[in-house]
Amino acid sequence: MRTAIQEVTDGKSIRQVAQDNIIAYTTLQRYIAKAKGDPIHQQRLVPNYTTNQVFSDEQENALKQYYQKCALLFYGLSTKDCRHVAYQMAVHNNVKVPTTWVENEMAGIDWLRGFRQRHPDLSLRKPEACSLARATAFNRETVKTFFENLENVIRRDTEFADGTRIFNLDETGTTTVHKAPKVLAPKGHRNVCKVTSGEKGILCTTCNIIGAGGQAIPPAIIFLRKKTNPRMAVGTPPGSLILASPSGWMNTELFIEVMKHFIKRTGSTKENPSILIMDNRESHLSIGALDLAKEFGMTMLTLHPHTSAKLQPLDVGIHGPFKSYYNSAMDSWMLRNPGVPVTIYDVGQMIGTAFIKAMTPSNIMQYFKKTGIWPFDKDIFSDDDFLPSTDQETNAVQQPAEIFPSTSKDNESYFCSSPGPSNQYQNIDRVDITVNTFDSQLNNPTDINNPTNQHLVEPAVQQILRKSVDVPSIVTPDQFRKLFKAPPRTGERKPRKLGRSLIATDTPEKEEIAKDRSAAKRMKTSNKSVTRKVLQSDSEEEGEVVLDDESDVEGTWLEENSDENFFTAESLSQPVSMLPKEGQYVLVKFESKKQRLFYTAKVLEERNDALELYVSFLRYKKGHFTMPNVPDLSFVKDDQIVYILPKPTVSGSTARQQSYYKFSIDLSNINIR
Kindly report the backbone phi and psi dihedral angles of residue 156, in degrees, each rounded to the nearest multiple of 5, phi listed first: -75, -25
For residue 363, give Cα distances in angstroms to 316, 380, 560. Answer: 11, 18, 65
User: What is the three-state SS of 210-232?
Assistant: EECCCCEEEEEEEEECCCCCHHH
Strand partners, 534: 547
Provide the Cα torsion 575, 581, 583, 589; round to 10°: 10
Torsion of CA 599, 602, 608, 610, to 10 degrees: -50
Number of residues assigned to the chain: 673
**CB burial class (10 A; 0-12, 13-18, 19+) of residue 185?**
exposed
* Pair type for strands 216-224 and 241-245: parallel
**Dihedral sign (CA 359, 363, 365, 369):** negative
Please give the C-alpha separations between residue 173 and each of 136, 178, 199, 201, 309, in angstroms, as whole numbers: 25, 11, 16, 11, 16
Is residue 413 within 8 Å of 433, Cβ to Cβ?
no
Q: Please report the pLDDT score of residue 188 as a whole number.
A: 84
The residues of the chain scoring below 70 in pLDDT are: 37-42, 48-52, 390-472, 485-498, 523-571, 573-574, 607-611, 652-653
Encode pLDDT of 111-133 as tens digits. Answer: 999 899 999 999 999 998 888 88
Cβ atoms 626, 617 nearer than 8 A = no
Q: Is the Cβ–Cβ distance between 588 and 582 less than 8 Å?
A: no
DSSP string, 140-190: HHHHHHHHHHHHHHHTT-GGGTTSTTEEEEEEEEEESSPPPPP----TT--
Q: Are 307 and 138 contacting, i.e. CB atoms less than 8 angstroms apart?
A: yes
CA 584 to chain centre: 46
- The residues, any chain, with a CB within 8 Å of residue 663's CB and separated by 6 or more, are 585, 600, 625, 645, 646, 648, 649
Q: Helix or strand or coil: residue 644?
A: strand
DSSP letter, residue 630: S
pLDDT tens digits for range 74-97:
999 999 999 999 999 999 999 999
| H or E element in which residue 278 lies | strand 274-278
Q: Residue 156, Cβ neighbours under 10 Å: how many?
A: 12
Backbone angles phi, psi at 387, to 5 degrees: -60, -45
* pLDDT score recorded for residue 405: 35
CA nearest neighbour of 206 among 236, 167, 228? 236
Distance CA 639, CA 662 (A): 25
- Angle value at C-alpha 48, between 43 and 53, nearest 5 degrees: 145
Query: How many of the other CB atoms lie within 10 Å of CB of 163?
Result: 19
Nearest CA-CA partner of 473 in 90, 63, 97, 93: 93
DSSP state of 489: P
The Cα 534–Cα 643 span in angstroms is 8
What pLDDT score does 470 carry? 46
Are the C-beta atoms of residues 342 and 174 closer than 8 Å to each other?
A: no
The Cα 87–Cα 96 span in angstroms is 10
Which one, of 139, 129, 119, 142, lies nearest residue 60 by Cα?
Answer: 119
Cβ neighbour number for residue 167 with a 10 Å cutoff: 23
Distance separating alpha carbons of residues 266 and 272, to the nearest angstrom: 9
- SS3 of 2, please? helix
In the chain, the domains with their CATH numbers are 2-46 (no CATH), 51-118 (no CATH), 132-179+200-389 (3.30.420.10), 400-475 (no CATH), 533-658 (no CATH)
Which residue type occupies 87? Y
Residue 443 to residue 439: CA distance in whole angstroms: 8
Cis amide prior to 375 (ω within 30 degrees): yes
* Cα end-to-end distance, the chain, whole Å: 88
